[in-house]
Chain A
Amino acid sequence: MLKHKDVLGLYELDAEEIDEILTVGMSMKKLLRQNIKKLPHLQGKSVTTLFYENSTRTRCSFELATKYMGAHVVNIAAASSSVQKGETLVDTGKTLDAMKNDVIVIRHPMGGAPALLAKTVKAHVVNAGDGMNEHPSQALLDMLTMRENFPSLQGLTVAILGDIRHSRVAKSNLFGLRKMGATVKMFAPRTLMPAEIDKMGAVVCRSREEAVEGADVVMGLRIQLERQHGGNFPSLGEYAKFYGVNEEIMQYAKKGALVMHPGPVNRGVELTSGLIDGDTSRIEEQVLSGIAVRMAILFLLTKEEI
């Protein structure tokens, strides 16, 4: 059972809660591997996914997670424009609450929106990504994938490279991995590195080589083309050349270091195709971890009531 009513971010979850989610997630993944997709954990529960931002994989992953555990699920894809006009988030939340939803999974382009919703509703709120704030289920699935491949997260060195400034994934991973005793190194063009992230425990590096040096895991982050309108770097070609991770750069990592990416990948930009499709890539494995960890989150949040 989690201590929090909601899963808003890994900044507020403690190591014990993270460990519990990962442990349950690993059991769930085992079941999924056996193709067991009919579990009773959420029977009689209602889950709504409320997405104010386009998403295929995360929404799909949450939807399957609820369905595999027998919950009713409703998906609301609210156009981004309706954030600005029409019903407020608070009013939408009150409506979903009145409909007796047990869990609301929200994705929103603005940081703090899930916190606002959580304050408003009785239902459990799961943050499926809010602006540049957090994406806890993504970081948890990354950590679950790492835990399957290493004896412990404690002492692991994880290098994260890419658009860190706009990345909620990088931050959730930083908070979560630090709590579990891992070292997190980061590298990005200066224009895509957020202020003072070193004070949150990240080792901010000045080159790809420095970041990847001695890493157990190398994670590329998506260059979000839709967010690059201001010219944070001259071109994708230049990005790939000076900031992308390729086989040569991977030489600096520990032998057999894993390659990960939250997807969708821009092939040849953040990572070369050779790395994406290589033996050490865990990118596809991350997808199944995603469903498992989301099953764990939903189960643990609603468990008290069963």
Chain B
Amino acid sequence: MIVKNAEVVFADGVKKADIRIEGGKIAEIAPSIQGEGIDCTGLTVFPGLIDMHVHLREPGFEKKEDILSGSRAAVKGGFTQVCCMPNTKPVTDNKVVVSYIKNRAKEVGLCKVHPVGAITEGQEGNNLAAIGAMKAAGAVAISEDGKSVPSAKMMSLAMQYASDFGLKCLCHCEDGALVDGGVVNEGYYSTLTGLKGSIRAAEDIIIAREICLAESLSLPVHICHVSTYSGVQLIREAKARGVQVTAETCPHYFTLTDEVIASFDTNTKVNPPIREEKDRLAVIEGLKDGTLDCIVTDHAPHHFDDKNVEYALAAFGISGLETSFALSYTALVKGGALTLCELAQKMSANPAAILSLEGGAIAVGAPADLTIADLNAAWTIDPKDFVSKGKNTPFTGREVYGKIRYTVVDGDVKYSA
């Protein structure tokens, strides 16, 4: 198969090229290649997008999402690889669950699904999970996502032990005692709504803790879904002095501010919470200067019933796989913060590098994972169109640019529109 007449986003620039795919790999890249294929005139080809932070909910919460519906949402959103977090039921803290997810994803056969194992058994913070066995079964990282490991001691042990297996800790940063039941950012809008607020320090303190551990131990660490301006600064300073820290953020942190909570719309409830304009701008600045390495969705699908309740009772999370590319392209590339190449780094190359995944670049010999988008296509976000079971989005009605036309995984078209 040949991908023809496309603008191709290479690591070093965007060029017109044809791409020949053979045996699931990129076999040839040349200005013009003869043969059967997809005519991509007017379209842009990205290295297959990688979302290193999603929740597929299976096993255990199939009412919210399962590996099939989540994979469909992924390829519709242009993602060829996703990493799914371990807060399943049972918790992904052993090789059996890791294998189950891998096998089920293979049966589904849409995108590549990489399980992330728990750091501690049952995500309870007491004993290390079977990190070696999970790695052997295919886990690509460990994380306690949804919360932090309460004890710094336990976290330091996890980072050290995981390093023996070449695994990184992906750290959800939240000081539970400081959050103390807070559900939104503490500020004007928490006071206005009377919803319990959580101050930035609740996130920053654990970001700082993980940085200190990584620095003390000379080990790498990855900070999840950074939402605060002060957290961005902590990471920037750590990088500047050589700490092996990488970090991610999500589209809702660079497109929304906390005024969206004023209507008590529970689709705006997410953890960490949507913060203020200075945070939003700092997150964009962090993406621009390389402090923040990746854009992830933290895709957190929920059933309607989980959100159709009092704000304080509603589940945290945003269904993000189907809107991430368009939101990111619109806000960051059209917004002038990033080039197309930089966007491809944040959404493909960097996640691949951080987790040592194959892919992340369009190059001869690489897996033929491609995301082909029409960047000029304008569309309006409507959760009714989502294939994810989770219709929970705060972006309903938002106009965006960038529509995925083809998602190619290992040379097979897994989605087209």
Contact = CB atoms under 8 A, between A and B. Distances in A.
Contact of B191 (A112, A130, A194): A194
B187 interface: yes
Nearest to B195: A111
Contact of A133 (B194, B263, B308, B309): B194
Interface in B172-219: 180, 186-188, 190-197
B396 to A, nearest CB: 15
Given A195-B187, A195-B188, A230-B180, A83 B310 contact: yes
Contacts of A2: none
Interface string A79-117: 000011000111000000000000000001011110110
Contacts of A134: 194
Nearest to B190: A195
Nearest to B184: A111
A300 interface: no
B313 A195 contact: no
A133 B310 contact: no
A268 interface: no
A110 B190 contact: no
B100 interface: no
A108 B192 CA distance: 17
A110 B311 contact: yes
A122 interface: no
B264 interface: yes
B312 interface: yes
A113 B310 contact: yes
A188 to B, nearest CB: 13
B313 A84 contact: yes
A168 interface: yes
B193 A111 contact: yes
Contact of B309 (A89, A171, A195, A230): A89
A165 B311 CA distance: 18
- The 4 closest A-B CB pairs, nearest first, are A133-B194, A132-B194, A112-B264, A111-B194
Interface of B: 180, 186-188, 190-197, 263-264, 305, 308-313
23 contacts: A11-B192, A83-B310, A84-B313, A88-B309, A89-B310, A90-B308, A110-B310, A111-B195, A112-B264, A112-B312, A115-B263, A116-B309, A116-B311, A131-B194, A131-B195, A132-B195, A133-B193, A133-B194, A171-B191, A195-B187, A195-B188, A196-B191, A200-B192
